[in-house]
């Protein structure tokens, strides 16, 4: 009897505490996802008519029958963009954390604060800052500097569009990675590094043989996090290059956006998003399996 | 149709009145000779008659809702003209003894087209669509059952109101044999250039008028040559700036190069490969000659540098843009009259030799009556009065855009307006943007190709090849000119 009551009260507490958040997740995540899945099987356009066309959108996307000639190019762009921005974020965040945690605390804090500024900016400001800095007229920041010293202006966004959007996204990601890595480094007992110093280890050796091995889990977490983040990212690309010039920076999620909200082909745009969700979930499962989710969640991974 | 509707409203009052008469007569027939009863029933009858007449006189007010878009504040007269029309309509109804009045509730939006259209579609799906709406995508609206055809209304009132609308406007209102809306705004795109720059190059006003006549009877190449002279002389920063996005101005340029994009007979899009290639190559050449920049600057730079005299010619504006330049960029009326010139897009030399004249384009909006309107005939009458010569002149005076109908030019409001009178002929050569659901998607691809070629990241031939692949996949019913 007591067990039953305890079980009942446990369920009640679970419903009480989990209910509201679960309802929100269902309402704002599962319902839109289900709707998006349904729309992906329609030819819905701006007039919002539900005309089901079966797998028509996916067939076009995969090049069966009337194929979309841009899809292969967008796929390559997405891979280049993701694999380009990922090391900028993870390695950049790691280097800054290691460096800033090994210098004087005040200087380190200042350094980390500077790299955290992008995260505090509204996305549109960050995007336009980059767009303005690399504008191809003498009104752009870098061209203004070049003009001031007598150098000709450079069409940055035409000559180096992918590098610029990779850096813009990568630098933004650094702030989060840096925060996580810095927090992780802070939990490493000083005894370990002190002992290494006493034994005559250099900064490089300490970093390589003590700090980095202990940061394995945060690095893997940040890698997984940003891998999916960059796959889904399109806002800064849209603000800086708009996907151009000539589709050179058109990535998967931006193309989905363009299809849905510029060309008003909601059905076709939804098909791209559905595929992205499938890729995301698959990647997530792969990463969790590779990391060992159970081990990850059972105890802290920093303390030694 | 409208007359029937009005008669139906008249009929309501007449029946009621007749009914009351009959009731009184029946009662009198049933009465005997007793005076008191006669008197009593006579009083009752008089009361019924009086009440009946009051009921018959009671005015029925019908509310019509309209969503009108600017975009921006410049389009506000499109909204106030509907209110003016409601006033006139009520006067006509009153004078005709009709006991119906129209109340027009207009919601004016300064939003851009896209969010405004989204709002309309969502409102419609929610069953809360307005009775009248101003939008552009006729094909989508008609095919989706959002609007009612107005052909019969236009034909009925042709000689009363619609007889002198510029002929090209109806082409932009017709789809699949029906007229779906009424034009009420026109801003022909064209070429603005700076006469003061040409004067600095040594040209006299007479030479300028000969080289770049206001009727557009010159060639694109002539204008480009003058732009290059201005750039080479370092008088300007930019020779020619076109739109930074796809739009009517780009379509007009395509037409000037003889690029066929649409087949009205077959109602299908056309990929005119030879002329499109020539169009792309010409732009590539202009970039190499530094007449056109390799990337179009943003709108603010286009407008700002032109008004400041740092750009020789802008292809990103229309005949009414000076009102915006005056309001936002400090253009003076004197500079407008003295230093700026406007002409429709002249044809390229090849096209001129083939007999093509100057061309202008406008993706003009229409007043539509929605299928959720309970009184479509009244809404159409309202639209008719909102496009009267007076209403047209009011809109024209406010926006500096040419009137969309001939007779408005003689209206006292704009008869003395030199700018409107001078630029009015541009409205006559306006061609509408094709009404095809995929037209703007097609233009979007053409514009991306143009930007890619100008940026030097793709050759004209490769861009055309990509375009053909897209065209074949997306518009299988389209026609390709090899």
Q: What is the pLDDT of residues B134-152, one digit of tens each?
A: 998 898 899 999 999 999 9
What is the least distance, in Å, from the CA of B202 to any CA of chain A?
Answer: 28
Identify the pLDDT of residue A2.
Answer: 64
Task: Count CA atoms closer than 13 A to B10's CA, side-chain side.
Answer: 12
Q: Do B63-186+364-432 and B189-362+438-481 have matching folds?
A: yes
Residue A34 three-state SS = helix
Identify the pLDDT of residue B10.
Answer: 33
Q: Cα Rg for chain A, rounded, in angstroms?
A: 24
The pLDDT tens digits for B433-474 are 898 888 989 999 999 999 999 999 999 999 999 999 999 988
Q: What is the DSSP string of A236-288?
A: HHHHHTTT-STTTT--HHHHHHIIIIIS--HHHHHHHHHHHHHHHHHHHHHHH
Neighbour tally for B29: CB within 10 Å: 7
Confidence of residue B2 (pLDDT cuts 50, 70, 90): very low
Identify the pLDDT of residue B293.
Answer: 93
CATH number of the domain bearing residue A239: 1.10.3720.10
The residues, ordered by sequence, that sit 6+ positions from B455 with a Cβ below 8 Å of its Cβ are A155, A158, A244, A245, A246, B294, B295
At residue B272, φ and ψ (nearest 5 deg) are: -95, 90
Residue A139 three-state SS = coil
Q: Least CA distance to A132: which residue of chain B?
A: B298
Q: Percentage of chain B surpassing pLDDT 70? A: 88
> Contacts of residue A157 in chain B, CB cutoff 8 Å?
295
**Residue B466 and residue B422: Cα distance in Å, rounded?**
43
A73 touches B at CB < 8 Å: no
The residues, ordered by sequence, that sit 6+ positions from A7 with a Cβ below 8 Å of its Cβ are none
Confidence of residue B36 (pLDDT cuts 50, 70, 90): low
Calculate ∠ Cα B346-B347-B349, nearest 5°: 125
A66 touches B at CB < 8 Å: yes
| Res. B28: pLDDT tops 60 | no
Identify the pLDDT of residue B221.
Answer: 96
| Res. B39: pLDDT tops 50 | no
Confidence of residue A4 (pLDDT cuts 50, 70, 90): low
Q: Percentage of chain A surpassing pLDDT 70? A: 93
DSSP assigned state of A212: H
Residue A17 three-state SS = helix
What is the least distance, in Å, from the CA of A233 to any CA of chain B?
Answer: 22
| Res. B21: pLDDT tops 80 | no
Confidence of residue B26 (pLDDT cuts 50, 70, 90): very low
Identify the pLDDT of residue B272.
Answer: 96
The arithmetic mean of pLDDT across residues A173-192, rounded, is: 90
The arithmetic mean of pLDDT across residues A148-156, rounded, is: 92
CB A166 within 8 A of CB A134: no
Give whole-number Cα distances, B369 to B44, B65, B121, B365, in Å. 47, 10, 14, 13
Cβ distance B458 to A246 less than 8 Å, yes or no, reads yes
Identify the pLDDT of residue B298.
Answer: 85
A16 within domain boundaries: no
> Contacts of residue A48 in chain B, CB cutoff 8 Å?
121-122, 125
Number of domains in chain A: 1
Identify the pLDDT of residue A275.
Answer: 95
Cβ distance A246 to B121 less than 8 Å, yes or no, reads no
Identify the pLDDT of residue A8.
Answer: 67
Identify the pLDDT of residue A193.
Answer: 85
What does the H/E/C string look like for B385-441? HHCCHHHHHHHHHHHCCCCCEHHHHHCHHHHCCHHHHHHHHHHCCEEECCCCCCHHH
Which of A242, A241, A232 is CA-nearest to residue A272?
A: A232
Identify from A44, A49, A69 which residue to disrupt to test chain B contact, counting B C-beta atoms within 10 A and taking the largest count. Answer: A69
Task: Count CA atoms closer than 13 A to A293's CA, side-chain side.
Answer: 7
Confidence of residue A301 (pLDDT cuts 50, 70, 90): low
Partner residue facing B294 (CB), from A60, A158, A263:
A158
Q: Which of A190-199, A245-254, B208-217, B344-353 has the lowest average pLDDT?
A: A190-199
The arithmetic mean of pLDDT across residues A113-135, rounded, is: 90
A211 within domain boundaries: yes
**Residue B74 and residue B61: Cα distance in Å, rounded?**
31
A63 touches B at CB < 8 Å: no
Identify the pLDDT of residue A293.
Answer: 65
Per-domain residue ranges of chain B: 2-57, 63-186+364-432, 189-362+438-481
A244 touches B at CB < 8 Å: yes
Cβ distance B122 to A48 less than 8 Å, yes or no, reads yes
Q: What is the DSSP string of B66-135?
A: EEEE-SSGGGHHHHHHHHHHHHHHHHHHHHTT--EEEEEEEEEE-S-HHHHHHHHHHHHHTT---SEEEE
Partner residue facing A155 (CB), from B294, B458, B473:
B294
At residue B458, φ and ψ (nearest 5 deg) are: -150, 145
- Residues of B near A (Cβ–Cβ under 8 Å) read 117-118, 121-122, 125, 137, 140-141, 143-144, 146, 293-295, 297, 301, 437, 440-441, 444, 448-449, 451-452, 455-458, 463, 466, 469-470, 472-474, 476
The pLDDT tens digits for B257-278 are 999 999 988 889 999 999 999 9
> Contacts of residue A68 in chain B, CB cutoff 8 Å?
470, 473
| Res. A304: pLDDT tops 80 | no
Which of B237, B236, B251, B241 is CA-nearest to residue B297?
A: B241
Identify the pLDDT of residue B56.
Answer: 53
Q: Which fold has domain B189-362+438-481?
A: D-Maltodextrin-Binding Protein; domain 2 (3.40.190)
Give kind and range of the element (H or E) at residue A12.
helix A2-25
Partner residue facing A67 (CB), from B137, B297, B473:
B473
Cβ distance A263 to B121 less than 8 Å, yes or no, reads no
A24 within domain boundaries: no
A191 within domain boundaries: yes
CB B146 within 8 A of CB B371: yes
Identify from A246, A254, A269 which residue to disrupt to test chain B contact, counting B C-beta atoms within 10 A and taking the largest count. Answer: A246
Cβ distance B293 to A248 less than 8 Å, yes or no, reads no
The arithmetic mean of pLDDT across residues A195-216, rounded, is: 88
Print the domain residue range for A292: 40-298
**Residue B241 and residue A190: Cα distance in Å, rounded?**
63
Cβ distance B473 to A136 less than 8 Å, yes or no, reads no
A303 within domain boundaries: no
Q: Least CA distance to A261: which residue of chain B?
A: B114
Which of B293, B228, B255 is CA-nearest to residue B433?
A: B255
Phi-psi region of B236 (alpha: psi -120 to 50; beta: other; left: phi over 0): beta
Burial class of residue A47, CB neighbours in 10 A (0-12, 13-18, 19+): buried
What does the H/E/C string look like for A45-81? CCCCCCCECCCHHHHHHCCCCCCCCCHHHHHHHHHHH
The arithmetic mean of pLDDT across residues B148-174, rounded, is: 94
A137 touches B at CB < 8 Å: yes
Query: Which residue carries 């704002």 as its tokens?
Result: A28
Mean pLDDT of all residues belonging to chain B = 87
A64 touches B at CB < 8 Å: no
Q: Least CA distance to B120: which residue of chain A?
A: A47
Confidence of residue B426 (pLDDT cuts 50, 70, 90): confident
CB B454 within 8 A of CB B292: yes
The number of residues making up chain B comes to 482
The pLDDT tens digits for B285-298 are 999 999 999 988 88
The arithmetic mean of pLDDT across residues B106-113, rounded, is: 89
Cβ distance B448 to A262 less than 8 Å, yes or no, reads no
Identify the pLDDT of residue B468.
Answer: 94
Burial A72-97 (b: 16+ CB within 10 A, else e): ebbeebbeebbebbbebbbebbbebb
| Res. A279: pLDDT tops 90 | yes
Identify from B128, B280, B295, B475 which residue to disrupt to test chain A contact, counting A C-beta atoms within 10 A and taking the largest count. Answer: B295
| Res. B202: pLDDT tops 90 | yes
Q: Percentage of chain B surpassing pLDDT 90? A: 66
Identify the pLDDT of residue A298.
Answer: 64
Q: Which of A96-110, A186-200, A221-235, B16-30 has the lowest average pLDDT?
A: B16-30
**Residue B195 and residue B201: Cα distance in Å, rounded?**
10
Mean pLDDT of all residues belonging to chain A = 88
Q: Which of A187-196, A253-262, B190-199 has the lowest average pLDDT?
A: A187-196
- Token pair, residue A247, equals 């589709």
> How far separated are the first and last CA of chain A, in Å rounded?
44
Q: Least CA distance to A241: which residue of chain B?
A: B295
Partner residue facing B121 (CB), from A48, A139, A248:
A48
| Res. B5: pLDDT tops 50 | no
Q: Between these two residues, B442 and A110, which has the higher pLDDT value?
A: B442
Under CATH, which architecture does the B63-186+364-432 domain have? 3-Layer(aba) Sandwich (3.40)
Partner residue facing B140 (CB), from A47, A66, A262:
A47
Which of B203, B177, B204, B173 is CA-nearest to residue B186?
A: B173
**Residue A119 and residue A174: Cα distance in Å, rounded?**
9
A to B CB pairs, distance under 8 Å: 70
Cβ distance A246 to B463 less than 8 Å, yes or no, reads yes
Identify from A46, A134, A143, A242 which residue to disrupt to test chain B contact, counting B C-beta atoms within 10 A and taking the largest count. Answer: A46
Cβ distance B140 to A46 less than 8 Å, yes or no, reads yes
Confidence of residue A190 (pLDDT cuts 50, 70, 90): confident
At residue B63, φ and ψ (nearest 5 deg) are: -95, 125
- Token pair, residue B298, equals 């943003």
| Res. A111: pLDDT tops 90 | no
> Contacts of residue B470 in chain A, CB cutoff 8 Å?
68-70
The arithmetic mean of pLDDT across residues B214-238, rounded, is: 95
| Res. B51: pLDDT tops 80 | no
Partner residue facing A69 (CB), from B301, B463, B470:
B470
A213 touches B at CB < 8 Å: no
- Token pair, residue A281, equals 């979930």
Which of A276, A278, A266 is CA-nearest to residue A233?
A: A276
Identify the pLDDT of residue A303.
Answer: 52
Residue A10 three-state SS = helix
A residues 157-186 near B, CB within 8 Å? 157-158
Q: Least CA distance to A259: which residue of chain B?
A: B441
The residues, ordered by sequence, that sit 6+ positions from B128 with a Cβ below 8 Å of its Cβ are none
Confidence of residue B331 (pLDDT cuts 50, 70, 90): very high
A282 touches B at CB < 8 Å: no
Neighbour tally for A130: CB within 10 Å: 24
A15 touches B at CB < 8 Å: no
Q: Percentage of chain A surpassing pLDDT 90? A: 52
Of these ranges, A47-56, B184-193, B386-395, B414-423, the one predicted with the greatest mean pLDDT is B386-395
A60 touches B at CB < 8 Å: yes
Partner residue facing A248 (CB), from B122, B441, B457:
B457
> Contacts of residue A158 in chain B, CB cutoff 8 Å?
294-295, 455-457
CB B346 within 8 A of CB B256: yes
Identify the pLDDT of residue B348.
Answer: 94
Helix, strand, coil: what percent of chain A each, to 5? Answer: 75, 0, 25
> Contacts of residue A70 in chain B, CB cutoff 8 Å?
470
> Contacts of residue B444 in chain A, CB cutoff 8 Å?
262-263
What is the least distance, in Å, from the CA of A248 to any CA of chain B?
Answer: 9
Neighbour tally for A219: CB within 10 Å: 18
DSSP assigned state of A42: B
* Contacts by residues A126-133 (CB-CB < 8 Å, ≥ 24 positions apart): A126/A168, A126/A172, A126/A236, A127/A168, A127/A235, A127/A236, A127/A238, A127/A239, A127/A240, A128/A239, A130/A164, A130/A168, A130/A236, A130/A239, A130/A240, A131/A157, A131/A239, A131/A240, A131/A241
- Token pair, residue B303, equals 């407008």
> Contacts of residue A64 in chain B, CB cutoff 8 Å?
none
Identify the pLDDT of residue B215.
Answer: 86
Q: What is the DSSP string of B169-196?
A: HHHTTEETTEE--EE-----EEEEEEHH
Identify the pLDDT of residue A116.
Answer: 85
* C-alpha B269, offset from chain centre: 22
């Amino acid at each position: 009897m007591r067990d039953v009551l305890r079980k009942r009260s446990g369920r009640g507490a679970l419903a009480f505490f989990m209910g509201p958040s679960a309802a929100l997740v269902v309402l704002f995540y599962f319902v839109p996802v289900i709707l998006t899945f349904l729309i992906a099987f329609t030819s819905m356009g701006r007039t919002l008519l539900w005309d089901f066309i079966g797998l028509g959108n996916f067939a076009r996307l995969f090049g069966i029958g009337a194929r979309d000639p841009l899809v292969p190019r967008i796929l390559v762009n997405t891979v280049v963009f993701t694999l380009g921005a990922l090391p900028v974020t993870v390695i950049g965040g790691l280097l800054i954390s290691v460096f800033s945690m090994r210098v004087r605390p005040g200087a380190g804090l200042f350094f980390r604060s500077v790299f955290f500024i992008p995260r505090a900016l509204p996305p549109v400001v960050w995007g336009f800052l980059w767009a303005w800095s690399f504008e191809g007229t003498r009104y752009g920041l870098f061209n203004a500097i070049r003009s001031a010293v007598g150098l000709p202006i450079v069409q940055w966004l035409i000559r180096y569009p992918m590098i610029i959007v990779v850096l813009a996204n990568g630098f933004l990601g650094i702030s989060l990675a840096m925060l996580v890595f810095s927090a992780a480094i802070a939990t490493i007992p000083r005894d370990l590094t002190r002992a290494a110093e006493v034994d005559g280890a250099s900064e490089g050796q300490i970093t390589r043989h003590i700090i980095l091995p202990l940061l394995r889990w945060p690095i893997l977490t940040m890698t997984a996090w940003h891998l999916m983040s960059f796959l889904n990212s399109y806002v800064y690309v849209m603000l800086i290059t708009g996907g151009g010039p000539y589709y050179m920076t058109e990535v998967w999620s931006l193309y989905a956006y363009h299809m849905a909200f510029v060309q008003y082909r909601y059905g076709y745009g939804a098909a791209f998003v559905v595929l992205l969700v499938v890729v995301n979930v698959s990647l997530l499962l792969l990463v969790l399996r590779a990391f060992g989710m159970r081990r990850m969640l059972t105890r802290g991974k920093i303390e030694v | 149709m409208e007359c029937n509707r009005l008669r139906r409203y008249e009929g309501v009052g007449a029946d009621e009145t007749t009914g009351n008469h009959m009731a009184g007569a029946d009662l009198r027939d049933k009465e005997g000779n007793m005076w008191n009863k006669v008197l009593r029933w006579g009083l009752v009858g008089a009361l019924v008659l009086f009440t009946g007449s009051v009921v018959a006189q009671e005015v029925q007010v019908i509310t019509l809702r309209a969503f009108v878009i600017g975009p921006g504040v410049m389009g506000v007269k499109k909204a106030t003209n509907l209110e003016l029309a409601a006033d006139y309509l009520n006067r006509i109804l009153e004078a005709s003894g009709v006991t119906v009045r129209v109340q027009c509730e207009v919601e004016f939006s300064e939003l851009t087209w896209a969010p405004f259209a989204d709002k309309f579609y969502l409102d419609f799906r929610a069953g809360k669509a307005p009775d009248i709406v101003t939008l552009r995508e006729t094909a989508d609206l008609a095919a989706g059952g959002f609007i009612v055809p107005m052909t019969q209304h236009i034909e009925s009132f042709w000689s009363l109101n619609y007889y002198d609308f510029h002929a090209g406007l109806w082409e932009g209102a017709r789809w699949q044999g029906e007229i779906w809306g009424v034009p009420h705004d026109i801003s022909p795109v064209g070429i603005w250039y700076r006469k003061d720059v040409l004067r600095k190059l040594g040209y006299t006003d007479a030479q300028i008028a000969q080289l770049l006549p206001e009727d557009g009877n010159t060639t694109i190449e002539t204008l480009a040559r003058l732009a290059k002279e201005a750039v080479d002389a370092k008088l300007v920063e930019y020779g020619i700036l076109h739109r930074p996005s796809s739009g009517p101005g780009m379509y007009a340029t395509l037409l000037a190069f003889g690029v066929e994009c649409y087949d009205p007979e077959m109602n299908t899009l056309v990929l005119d490969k030879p002329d499109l290639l020539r169009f792309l190559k010409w732009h590539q050449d202009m970039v190499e000659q530094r007449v056109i920049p390799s990337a179009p600057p943003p709108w603010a730079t286009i407008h700002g540098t032109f008004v400041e005299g740092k750009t020789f010619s802008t292809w990103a504006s229309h005949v009414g843009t000076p009102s915006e330049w005056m309001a936002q960029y400090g253009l003076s009326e004197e500079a407008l009259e003295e230093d700026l010139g406007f002409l429709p897009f002249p044809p390229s030399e090849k096209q001129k030799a083939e007999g093509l004249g100057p061309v202008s384009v406008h993706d003009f909006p229409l007043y539509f009556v929605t299928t959720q309107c309970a009184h479509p005939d009244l809404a159409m009458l309202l639209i008719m009065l909102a496009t009267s010569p007076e209403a047209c002149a009011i809109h024209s005076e406010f926006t500096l855009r040419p009137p969309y109908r001939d007779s408005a030019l003689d209206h006292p409001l704009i008869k003395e307006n030199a700018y409107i009178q001078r630029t009015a002929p541009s409205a006559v050569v306006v061609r509408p943007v094709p009404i095809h659901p995929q037209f703007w998607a097609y233009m979007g691809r053409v514009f991306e190709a143009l930007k890619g070629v100008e940026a030097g990241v793709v050759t004209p031939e490769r861009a055309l090849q990509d375009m053909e692949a897209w065209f074949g996949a997306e518009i299988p019913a389209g026609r390709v000119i090899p």
